[in-house]
Homo-oligomer: A and B are copies of this chain.
């Protein structure tokens, strides 16, 4: 029997409005009978109505909201009674074990880091995204929390990503790669060369460099890079998938024969679309903070909200933050011993 777990859910965030949050949360509650939810939002976000319809939901009414285009750190400092700040505070105080939001990614990162706090020893929390590789998915991090990264952050990202894949996806001894421009260890930017040697020393599952075309091949469970390269790369992957689907659609509409073909192959095309959809994985975990924090796409639909809330629940139950704390401490210990020796 899984443990009871409480997830604070931001009812303000998301481009699709509170109705989508309600539907997604209801689906998550149906899927997981030991899940409790604190619906965090303003009166107009319908959090009290939501709580009145479900016994495992309670409302936390707030008075402020952080918009998508506000400066993240300033907004978090100024709006203490916003849904994002209050959601993170509920985790900090122990009322909830995790937080899900489809609001401003930057504000979630800032609030989680400032309010929940970093795991001891973690230099920079990182945002991770599961990529739909074949035959297996790959966790890419950082995808945008830290535009400028020192090589030592990357080694920590490897440790944190491996902990997540082990606990969430049940991968034994995850294979960790460094995103780079060649397979050989002599390849890369100055920063990548330093990161390679640090990762060899500190990351148990490190297996070497990963090139851009390896990201979707399932040859790595975790791939680390700085938040600039990771963000550009993630969006390039999403953009390419969408462009290829667009070319395909135009091709299928180009003749009656092709239209008929597309109709017959509808099942295959639908399953491809689902495989590539960001809704499938529900959101991006922020790793390295004290608590489970999952950030959804701004355009999250009910399916994505459901999956995001369920992933937050699993991340909390599986004690990912605790494992990260242990592994980071162990790596620091090993590295200190290495220096003494």
Task: Mark A residues whose CB is within 8 Å of B.
Answer: 133-134, 144, 147-148, 179-181, 188-190, 192, 211-217, 225-229, 231-248, 251-252, 254-255, 257-258, 260-269, 271-272, 275-276
Contact = CB atoms under 8 A, between A and B. Distances in A.
Given A147-B189, A244-B272, A247-B134, A234 B212 contact: yes
A211 B242 CA distance: 14
**Which of A189, A260, A276 has the most chain B CB within a 10 Å cutoff?**
A189
Nearest 3 A-B pairs (CB), nearest first? Answer: A212-B235, A251-B268, A261-B264
Contacts of A226: 189
Nearest to A213: B239
B239 A236 contact: no
A71 to B, nearest CB: 9
A133 B188 contact: no
Contact of A243 (B134, B236, B271): B134
Given A212-B234, A258-B267, 20 more contacts: A148-B189, A148-B190, A179-B232, A180-B232, A211-B235, A213-B235, A213-B238, A215-B240, A217-B243, A229-B233, A240-B244, A244-B244, A247-B272, A247-B275, A247-B276, A257-B267, A261-B262, A261-B263, A261-B264, A262-B268
A306 B254 CA distance: 29
B181 A147 contact: yes
B252 A181 contact: no
Contacts of A134: 243, 246-247
A233 B230 CA distance: 9
A90 to B, nearest CB: 29
A338 B42 CA distance: 52
Q: In this complex, which of A241, A257, A268, A271 has the most chain B Cβ atoms within 10 angstroms of its Cβ?
A: A268
A245 B275 CA distance: 13
Contacts of A266: 261
